[in-house]
Amino acid sequence: MIDLRSDTLTRPTAAMRRAMADAEVGDDVYGEDPTVQALEERVAGLFGHEAALFTPTGSMANVLAVRSVVAPGQEVLCESRAHIARAELGAHGAYSGVTMRTWIDPRGQVDLPVIQSLFAPDMGPFFVATAAISVENTHNFAGGAVLPVDDLRDLHEYAAGAGAAVHMDGARIWNAHVATGVPLAEYGACADVMAVCLSKGLGAPVGSLMLGTADAIAEARIWRKRMGGGMRQVGILAAAGLHALDHHVERLADDHAHARLIAEACGVDPASVDTNIVVVPRSDAGDFVAGAREAGVLVALVGPTAVRLVTHLDVSREDSERAAAALARLA
Ligand SMILES: *Cc1c(COP(=O)(O)O)cnc(C)c1O
């Protein structure tokens, strides 16, 4: 089976497992795990943020990041298919009392005029106040679309002027960086708080980070523990992340090329595929998923009429060519 359901499915490589086995560790709740500290410092530095916090999941990093800039009863604006709105099972409402309003963009892009029209300044006891605007780069359910850095810069400038924060869900910011060549720090400069994942295309088994100011991270460290996310000798996981940063970033370009190959086979314009995710609109989505499985390719249903295919570390060039041939027959 060639598994294109998600880039979370990667298994740690032999070299990554060796790095994990050799990691120096300590109790991270005591602040004594040197490998976790090295990872947090390195990732904060990459994005030009003051500090970072290692979390078990990207969802937890998003919850901590959003709650650091949005108080209970305030709102965050985001695109309608954002992961924070659709795929975190209401965590921001359930844990943080955060409400959301959404704009709709087929490519998950920043639509500044619409955001400006939605934006609600604090008007006292009448309307929910907008405290933050959230962007997702790359945008998962919009097919791995990259958000241009110029749009992000304009949004950040607008938000700062309006007294709101920008949150960036950068679960796949590495893919945006490799696809565009825009330095990670330039993306980092467009957001007040961020979440980034090591467990997607980078191929680590576990791990994400929240990024922000030293004060925001100090508070998030308390909330992480409160939510049950304080972890102990977790340097073995941080070591996987450090290994991934050394060895698995530039190779994302291969995943992007494989995704374009597979897109073409499914009747999707390869030029519309920015990174490693292909979303195929199909009225027969359920049948397509079943047919692909019979042909030896696992793909995911992400809506009644949408199929998602994701390339990753464990899908070789040869796998991609075989999957493309099988899917072309089906499509
Ligand atoms: C995967 C993902 C996350 C985090 O997911 P977890 O499974 O909680 O690690 C966050 N945002 C986006 C866009 C994602 O694709």
Of 195, 230, 247, the last residue of a domain is 247
How many CA atoms lie less than 13 Å away from 225 in the CB half-sphere? 10
pLDDT reported for residue 92: 98
Q: Is 169 in the pocket of ligand 1 (CB under 6 A)?
A: yes
| Distance from C-alpha of 111 to C-alpha of 151, rounded to nearest angstrom | 9
**Mean pLDDT calculated for residue range 254-271:** 97
Mutate to test the pocket of ligand 1, among 86, 197, 237 (most ligand atoms within 8 A of CB): 197
**What is the total residue count of the chain?**
331
**Mean pLDDT calculated for residue range 237-245:** 98
For the chain, the farthest-separated pair of C-alpha atoms sits apart, in whole angstroms, at: 61
Ligand 1 atom nearest to 8, measured from its CA: 1
* 2 domain residue, yes or no: no
Q: Which of 313, 311, 306 is nearest to 289 (CA)?
A: 306
| Distance from C-alpha of 44 to C-alpha of 210, rounded to nearest angstrom | 9
CB atoms within 10 A of CB 18: 13
| Same domain as 202, residue 57 | yes
* 198 domain residue, yes or no: yes
* Distance between Cα 89 and ligand 1 center (Å): 12
| Same domain as 180, residue 226 | yes
* 4 domain residue, yes or no: no
Mean pLDDT across the chain: 97
**Which residue pairs from 189-192 have beta carbons closer than 8 angstroms and sit at least 24 positions apart in sequence?**
189/48, 189/153, 189/156, 190/149, 190/152, 190/153, 190/155, 190/156, 190/166, 191/135, 191/152, 191/156, 191/166, 191/167, 192/69, 192/132, 192/165, 192/166, 192/167
| Same domain as 271, residue 190 | no
| Same domain as 288, residue 208 | no
pLDDT at residue 97 tops 90: yes
pLDDT reported for residue 243: 98
| Same domain as 259, residue 117 | no
| Same domain as 194, residue 277 | no
| Same domain as 242, residue 277 | no
Q: Is 59 in the pocket of ligand 1 (CB under 6 A)?
A: yes
User: What CATH number is attached to the domain comprising 268?
Assistant: 3.90.1150.10
| Same domain as 292, residue 311 | yes
- Counted domains in the chain: 2
pLDDT reported for residue 71: 98
* 3 domain residue, yes or no: no
| Same domain as 280, residue 196 | no
pLDDT at residue 209 tops 90: yes
| Same domain as 228, residue 265 | no
- pTM exceeding the 0.85 threshold for the entire prediction: yes
**Measured torsion, CA atoms of residues 141, 103, 273, 152, in degrees rounded to the nearest 10:** -120
pLDDT reported for residue 40: 99
Tokens coding 186:
């330039």
User: What CATH number is attached to the domain comprising 173?
Assistant: 3.40.640.10
pLDDT reported for residue 155: 98
Of 199, 222, 247, the last residue of a domain is 247
pLDDT tens digits, residue range 116-173? 999 999 999 999 999 999 999 999 999 999 999 999 999 999 999 999 999 999 999 9
pLDDT at residue 79 tops 90: yes
pLDDT tens digits, residue range 171-199? 999 999 999 999 999 999 999 999 999 99
**Mean pLDDT calculated for residue range 73-84:** 98
Please give the residue range of the domain that contains residue 140. Answer: 12-247
pLDDT reported for residue 16: 98
pLDDT at residue 323 tops 90: yes
* 139 domain residue, yes or no: yes
* 118 domain residue, yes or no: yes
CB burial of residue 244 (10 Å; 0-12, 13-18, 19+) = buried
* Distance between Cα 171 and ligand 1 center (Å): 6
User: What beta strand segments (E) does 219-321 contain?
Assistant: 277-281, 297-298, 300-303, 306-310
* Distance between Cα 123 and ligand 1 center (Å): 33
Q: Whose Cα sits closest to atom 3 in ligand 1? A: 58
pLDDT tens digits, residue range 1-46? 999 999 999 999 999 999 999 999 999 999 999 999 999 999 999 9
| Same domain as 274, residue 234 | no
pLDDT reported for residue 331: 87
| Same domain as 228, residue 282 | no
CB 17 within 8 A of CB 211: no
Q: Is 258 in the pocket of ligand 1 (CB under 6 A)?
A: no
Among residues of the chain, what percentage have pLDDT more than 70? 100
Of 247, 270, 291, the last residue of a domain is 247
